[in-house]
Amino acid sequence: MDLFEYQAKELFRKFGMAVPDGKVASSPAAAEKVAAKIGGRVVVKAQVQVGGRGKAGGIKLADDPAGAKAVAEQILGMDIKGHKVRRVLVEQAGDIKSEFYASFLLDRTAKAYLGMMSAKGGVDIEEVAATDPEAIARVHVSPLTGLQPYHVRELLFGARIPKEAHAGAGELLRTMYLVFIQMDASLVEVNPMVLTGDGTVVALDAKVSLDENAGYRHPEFEKLSSEIPLQKQEKVAKEKGLNYVKLDGRIGIIGNGAGLTMSTLDVVAEAGGTPANFLDIGGGANAATMAAGIDLIFSDRKVKSLFVNIFGGITRCDEVARGILGALEQLPNLKAPIVVRLDGTNATEGRRILEEAAHPNITMAPTMLEAAAKAVALTKGRRA
C-alpha cells in the first residue's frame, strides 16, 4: 500500500520526525484556510501516488492565502500520469540550504534491509544512480541486530553530507528506520531531506509503502487504505481477493504466480502488444477464481482480447479450463477472443476439455511465445 505524501507525513509526526507544518485540503477554499492558519509563504502540492509532480505543474508556491487558493484551483482536478488530483497538501515553505536523499527498503537479494543516502537530493535517485553511482552511500542492516550507530555514520560520511547537518540528518535516519520496522514498511523514503537556513534538518517530502500482509497487526492500515481511491476494477478485485493491477493496454492478462504473470506481460510487449492489466490468480486457483478473473478483466471496456497463461503446480489446469468455460456461460455476449496456454498439472485434461467445448472465443497455443503472438494478432483490427 503506497501512502499519499500527507499520510506518510502524519505517520512521521507520530514518530516525532521533523516535517513542515501543513495540512491536506480537498478544495481551494480549504487550501486558503490552511494557508491562513500557517501564515507566510506556503507550498501547495498535488497528492498523487506518482513521481514527477513538480515537472507536471503539481507543486506551486503561494505568497499568501489568496494565492494558495488560486494555485489550488489550478492543481485540483489535474491529471498527472493518469492520476487525478483530488487533494492538495498545503505546507509552510522552507528556507532550503541543501537537499539530500535518504531511504530504507527491503533488499530481498541480500536478505537484509538496505539504507541509502546521497547529498544529491531533490532529483530522481534513479538518475543519480545511473550518472553518478558513487554519490549514493549504501549500507545493509541485519534484521537481527537492527540499525547501529556505525550504520548511520557510514551513510552520513559515505554520502558526504555537510557536517553541520550530521546531527539532524542522523536523527531523521534513526527515526526513518523506526518507522520502517514498526510499521512493517517495504520502503521509507525522504527526497528531499533538507538542511534549512537555521540549521534544522527536515523531511520535506515523504514516501512510504506498507506491507498489507502485516495488516492483521496494524488496525490503522484499514483507515489509511480507505483514503486511497481505487479504480473500479481494482476495487472489485480487492473484494474478490484477486491480485489485480490496471494498466493502459488492450490485452487482458491472467497468469498464476507473480513471476509467470510478469513474464507474460513481457512476452506480450515483445510480440508488439500492450497489456491491459496484471492479474495473478495465485496458486491453487479453482474454477470460481478463474471465472471471477475473466469477468473482472472484461469489465474494462478497453480490453479487446485475453491471454490466459497457466503453469499448473498446485493449480490444476482442468479446473482452470472449467473456469474459463464457466465464465463464458456467464458472459454470453462476449465477442473478444481468449488465447489459452496450459502446461503443468492436468494440462492434457485441461486442453481436452477446451478442445471438446470448441468454444468460438477460445484459441489454444502450445507455448507462451506462440500464445502471446496469437493474442496480439487477434487484437489487431478490433476497435479501440
Half-sphere exposure of 264 (CA within 13 A, CB side): 32
Helix, coil or strand: residue 348: helix
**Cβ–Cβ contacts within 10 Å for residue 63, how many?**
12
- Among the listed residues 6, 32, 91, 101, the single catalytic one is 101
Cα separation, 339 vs 359, whole angstroms = 11
Phi, psi of 287 (to 5 degrees): -60, -40
Cα separation, 341 vs 380, whole angstroms = 20
101 is catalytic: yes
Q: Which residues contact 122 (CB under 8 A, 6 or more apart)?
A: 99, 101, 191, 192
- Among the listed residues 5, 32, 91, 189, the single catalytic one is 189
Cα separation, 226 vs 219, whole angstroms = 12
244 is catalytic: no
The residue whose grid cell reads 480490453 is: 303
DSSP 147: -
Catalytic residues: 101, 189
